[in-house]
Amino acid sequence: MSDLDRRSILAGAALAAGATVIASEAGAQAPRMPFTIAPTLIPIAGSDQMFPVRRIYCIGRNYAAHAREMGSDPTREPPFFFQKPTDAIQLVPAGGMVDHAYPSLTKNYHYEVELVVALKGGGKDIAQDKALELVFGYAVGLDMTRRDLQRAMGDQKKPWEIGKSFDRSAPVGPIHPVAQVGHIGTGRISLAVNGTVKQDATLAHMIWNVAEQISKLSEANELFAGDIIYSGTPENVGPVVVSDILLCKIEGLPDLSIRIV
């Protein structure tokens, strides 16, 4: 046997021993992986549990006045859905403020304050009158947007993913279970920049309410526990610059704040 053969046998035995340790720690069925990926988890308010995020869905143009400011006619165009990657989540503690880096490639970076709906169950073709039973809880979120890239791609009839679905584009606060806060669907939603209110509406202004969003989305995709839905932003979206402080409020949930750095 050559030295090379001997070394490869020893290396193989060491790997097998390591795999055995991992399997026995995690259960006999644990798959072997060359590396691990951190799961995306959102704290659950009033609990030591975390909410595991499966997918992030976002709804576009769900407030009539915002649809108009984006150049569409809300009476003719139904709202639509897009996704952000799960790891676009940036956690923001309740009552705290985190630094949010101004992203690359854009010169027109916009805020969009949104109600976030977190699901504990799913299904296909969910009836509207059953949809709210699937809601685990609610959070305040920001659908941060590279508006110039979104518009440029839209003008070229290309996917505007680069304007919406980038790293840390989804700041979100803790999820508040329905058991604690009830269903959030009619109260005030607002956003201020450096103390000046910019967006100010009520959730009742949503074109499609939460139950309708879940029902419509489940026509396109089977929904599962762990899916979250950014439910659209009211009018008066606008740009931020470095050092701006954003304060987001939704009645019934704690405030969410980020600082652009």
The residues binding Mn ion (CB under 5 A) are 112, 143, 233
Q: Of 44 and 164, which CB lies nearer to Mn ion in the complex structure?
A: 164
Q: Of 44 and 56, which CB lies nearer to Mn ion in the complex structure?
A: 56
Least CB distance from residue 112 to Mn ion, whole Å? 4
Confirm if 157 and 84 have CB atoms less than 8 A apart.
no
Q: Of 190 and 233, which CB lies nearer to Mn ion in the complex structure?
A: 233
Q: Of 80 and 101, which CB lies nearer to Mn ion in the complex structure?
A: 80
Q: Name the residue with the smallest CB distance to Mn ion.
A: 143
Least CB distance from residue 33 to Mn ion, whole Å? 34
Least CB distance from residue 55 to Mn ion, whole Å? 16
Q: Of 44 and 116, which CB lies nearer to Mn ion in the complex structure?
A: 116
Least CB distance from residue 23 to Mn ion, whole Å? 43
Least CB distance from residue 221 to Mn ion, whole Å? 18
